[in-house]
Amino acid sequence: MPRHGRREVAGVVLASLLSFGLMAFLAMRLPPFFGADERAHFSYTVTLLDGRLPEFTDRQPFDDRYPIIQRSLDPPGPEAPRQQAIFVALHPPLTYAVTAPLVWLAGMTPYDALPTLAFRLVNAASMGVGVALAGLFAAELFPGRRGVAVAAAVLTAVVPNIVAVGAYAHNDGPAFALTTACLLVSARLLRRGLSAGRLVSGSLVAAAAMSTRASAAVAVAAVVASAAVAAWRSGRGLRPAAMRAAGATLAVGTTVVAVSGWFYWRNQRLYGTPTGDEFAFEALGRHPVATLPEAMTTRAYHGRLWTGLYGSVHLRLPTWHPGWLLAGLAAVLAAGLLVAVARRARRGNDLGGAAARGGGIGPPGWVILAGFCAAVVVSAARHYADGGGPHPRYLFALVPVVSALLARALAEFPWPRLALGVVAGVQLALMLWQIGQFSDLVGNPAHPRPFDVATAPVLGQAAALALAAVAGAGVLALVANDWWRRRRGPDPVQASG
């Protein structure tokens, strides 16, 4: 690997460690079950450890090895029926199966909060992997663009809601990592063509994603479409190309159904639909609040999701002009991409800088990516319209795409490294300021939670913050070193791209 390639990999890893350090700090700093639905996710794992797969209507298990569950429900509150149900049982079991061994080991200790911390750290580590994969995905979208991978990873690492949700005992971390892996595999299939290895890896990643959350179906569809396009390109003649495309589609689809289909069939039998959403809404007393077109055109709904994603670590915490932040990010994106399009048009090339020569994902790839993004937005809006909550985490799958485009836009600025530092620095400063407000939220009677003490001692929190600080300093040093090297001479990759 070339030297600058090693620096890119190091930068992506450091960005991942920066995000993990912040998430680990919050996982230790916040009380157990602080995040919405944490207890239900944790109880799913405990039920698995008892040797069975939970159902929606199951009560939270009162197990002597995990007394924190019973302590958190004693005395029961006015929402006891909802609090005691394992309503996340509609999710496939992969996250909980991966988490179970660490939860079991932590349950062997006398510290009853340690199993919940183990779950949180698995979620945080998975989210950190997703941050690194976002950087690699950007490198596939824009090959030959030095610094894009690191920039995309850094921009993903400082998204406030990514860090906040990554600190909870949720399944969002594994889902984010596997959804981003689907995007990465799709881009590689489109850019590098079909091979047995890429087809197998795409099939396995897609199957794992569907074993984590049903919402990953849009990412799986992107893998299927990309495999079909890659197979079509490799065929000679209409009939062979069509046969190869059909074979690639069948290979991915069969693997997904074989690995995860049983769970969705189980949901169909138990709840009437593969996802069980209608059953859940009825059981939780939720009703449709709008039609899909109304939800898609409601400014307040989209504003809440996007400002919550990029402007807040928690919807109950005050934000510092999140609309200005979103407008600034949109302005950066528009300015950089317009300059890129203008430059490529003058050179007779495309946005990726190499797609016309076979180095990018090409027009079909961009169509697939646009369809993926549209499907994520429509899926989130449909969930809200049917009675679900407008949670920013439903847009997590879009973050790698937005980060890649922002990184590409920043590469067009006169001082791209400085521009990256400003954009990422503003987001990081906003996030750290809001993290400092968590103490007020923990003690706020209007935001009741079963506990008000940290999950881990101050020493552990300090170690996590130190990791984040060292990783952040490492990213800064790499970016500064790259800037200095570029001042001493032209970048041959940039000059040729």
Residue 189 has pLDDT above 80, yes or no: yes
- pLDDT at position 28 is 97
When pLDDT is averaged across residues 438-456 and rounded to a whole number, the result is 84
When pLDDT is averaged across residues 85-95 and rounded to a whole number, the result is 94
Most confident among 52-66, 97-111, 344-358 (mean pLDDT): 97-111
In whole angstroms, what is the distance from residue 122 CA to residue 244 CA?
39
Decide: 83 and 77 in contact? Cβ < 8 Å. Answer: yes
Q: Per-residue DSSP letters for 102-142?
A: HHHHHHTSS-TTHHHHHHHHHHHHHHHHHHHHHHHHHHHHS
- Helix locations, 312-391, DSSP H: 322-347, 362-385
Residue 235 has pLDDT above 70, yes or no: no
Percent of the chain with pLDDT over 70: 90
- pLDDT at position 91 is 97
- pLDDT at position 494 is 44
In whole angstroms, what is the distance from residue 380 CA to residue 304 CA?
12
- Length of the chain equals 497
Residue of 151 and 479 predicted with greater confidence: 151
Can you read off the two tokens belonging to residue 9? 């990999």
In whole angstroms, what is the distance from residue 425 CA to residue 447 CA?
30
Closest CA to 140 of 17, 222, 19: 222
Can you read off the two tokens belonging to residue 464? 């996590």
- The neighbouring-strand residues paired with 63 are 66
Can you read off the two tokens belonging to residue 440? 């007020």
Mean pLDDT lowest for which of 239-253, 325-339, 481-495? 481-495
- Compute CA distances 420 → 152, 407, 410, 425, whole Å: 10, 8, 7, 8
In whole angstroms, what is the distance from residue 321 CA to residue 76 CA?
38
Closest CA to 5 of 488, 484, 482, 444: 482
Dihedral class, residue 37 (left if φ above 0, else alpha if ψ from -120 to 50, else beta): left
Burial class (CB in 10 A: 0-12, 13-18, 19+), 96: buried
> What are φ and ψ of residue 66, in 5° steps?
-130, 65
- pLDDT at position 139 is 94
Q: Which residues of 139-158 are buried (b: 16+ CB within 10 A; e: fewer)?
A: bbbbbbbbbbbbbbbbbbbb
> Average pLDDT over the chain, rounded to whole?
89
Can you read off the two tokens belonging to residue 1? 């690997």
Cis bond upstream, residue 160 (ω within 30): no
Residues whose CB falls within 8 Å of the CB of residue 230, separated by 6 or more in sequence, listed in order: 189, 190, 193, 194, 198, 248
When pLDDT is averaged across residues 476-497 and rounded to a whole number, the result is 62
- Please tell me whether residue 35 adopts helix, strand or coil conformation: coil
Terminal Cα-to-Cα distance of the chain (whole angstroms):
19
Q: Angle at Cα 349 formed by Cα 343 and Cα 353, nearest 5°?
A: 80
Closest CA to 375 of 208, 216, 486: 216
Tell me how far apart the 2 most distant CA atoms of the chain are, in Å: 71
Dihedral class, residue 33 (left if φ above 0, else alpha if ψ from -120 to 50, else beta): left
pLDDT band at 268 (very low <50, low <70, confident <90, very high): very high
pLDDT band at 3 (very low <50, low <70, confident <90, very high): very low
Based on its alpha-carbon atoms, the radius of gyration of the chain, rounded to whole angstroms, reads 23
Closest CA to 245 of 262, 226, 272: 226
When pLDDT is averaged across residues 377-396 and rounded to a whole number, the result is 92
- Compute CA distances 446 → 159, 311, 481, whole Å: 26, 22, 48
Look up tokens 């405990």; give the residue.
Answer: 46
Burial class (CB in 10 A: 0-12, 13-18, 19+), 436: exposed
In whole angstroms, what is the distance from residue 167 CA to residue 23 CA?
5
Decide: 15 and 407 in contact? Cβ < 8 Å. Answer: no
pLDDT band at 250 (very low <50, low <70, confident <90, very high): very high
- pLDDT at position 101 is 97
When pLDDT is averaged across residues 434-455 and rounded to a whole number, the result is 85
The sign of the dihedral angle between the CA atoms of 366, 369, 375, 377 is negative
Residue 212 has pLDDT above 70, yes or no: yes
Amino acid at 68: I
- Compute CA distances 380 → 255, 302, 308, whole Å: 26, 10, 14
pLDDT band at 493 (very low <50, low <70, confident <90, very high): very low
